[in-house]
């Protein structure tokens, strides 16, 4: 299982929200490159980079940060937030993203999202399947839908999706444990899907529980920034479990 640290961006700064609420924002570092280099120095290989400004605006905003991080680290960066058009996708690829996560676009413009899957393949396009009460949430989690998350993911797996990042919005940023049931249900519905768990990780016990459940990866954000886990612990765990 991969440990995937997260950097969420607002105005180019490293922040975290609580339950996706932009009004509950905390700035942790004004230099995302410094944070990313710390991750890399600890032996971590991947980075989940989220453009929260972009998610709200419906277009990529913080592309310069992506370009800097991709150019000055060797991290495998998956980028999400505001990728809503072919032009957004081109910008993100040009700036060095290795994978792109699309959530809102998969709901609001499925034809375009499917064209990306066809053109770039399921190894590069990740399905964002964030959920509140098991219903898909989009637009930086500010919009709810009536889509049952398990059916939503299953339909896209049939169209070529190989990876999904799924956040239980109700748990995100609360440090109260991940939604193991959500991921168990996804595994049962979509065997073979590479599931990346996100939201709620409070410490190493949660990471160990997800590893036992054999998900592909786990995104860790607030637990790092609040000192609940150390980068040394995470780096060692990844070496032992990948």
Check if the beta carbon of residue 163 is closer than 8 Å to that of residue 194.
Answer: yes
Tokens of 240: 């032992």
Does 130 qualify as catalytic in the annotation?
A: yes
Going 33 to 37 to 39 to 40, the CA torsion angle's sign is positive
Of 51, 78, 88, 130, which is the active-site residue?
130
Measured from the Cβ of residue 204, the count of other Cβ atoms closer than 10 Å reads 15
Query: How far is residue 135's CA from residue 23's CA, in Å, rounded to a whole number?
Result: 22
List Cα–Cα distances, 37 to 16, 69, 151, in angstroms.
18, 8, 38
Looking at residue 11, what DSSP letter applies?
T
Strands 2-10 and 217-220, sheet pairing: parallel
Does 8 qualify as catalytic in the annotation?
A: yes
Q: Which residues are catalytic?
A: 8, 130
């Amino acid at each position: 299982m991969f440990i995937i640290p997260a950097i969420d961006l607002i105005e180019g700064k490293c922040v975290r929200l609580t339950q996706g609420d932009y009004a509950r924002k905390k700035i942790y570092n004004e230099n995302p490159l410094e944070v990313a280099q710390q991750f890399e120095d600890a032996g971590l290989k991947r980075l989940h980079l989220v453009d929260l400004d972009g998610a709200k605006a419906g277009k990529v905003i913080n592309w310069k940060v992506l370009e800097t991080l991709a150019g000055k680290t060797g991290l495998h960066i998956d980028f999400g937030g505001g990728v809503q058009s072919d032009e957004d996708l081109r910008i993100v690829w040009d700036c060095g993203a290795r994978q792109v996560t699309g959530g809102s676009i998969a709901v609001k413009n499925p034809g375009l999202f499917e064209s990306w899957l066809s053109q770039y393949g399921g190894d590069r396009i990740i399905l964002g399947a964030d959920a509140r009460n098991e219903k898909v949430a989009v637009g930086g989690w500010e919009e709810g839908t009536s889509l049952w998350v398990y059916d939503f993911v299953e339909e896209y797996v049939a169209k070529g999706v190989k990876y999904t990042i799924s956040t239980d919005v109700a748990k995100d940023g609360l440090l109260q444990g991940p939604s193991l049931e959500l991921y168990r249900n996804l595994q049962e519905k979509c065997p073979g899907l590479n599931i990346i768990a996100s939201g709620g990780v409070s410490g190493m016990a949660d990471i160990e529980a997800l590893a036992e459940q054999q998900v592909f990866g786990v995104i860790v954000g607030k637990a790092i920034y609040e000192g609940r886990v150390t980068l040394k612990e995470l780096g060692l765990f990844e070496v032992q479990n990948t």
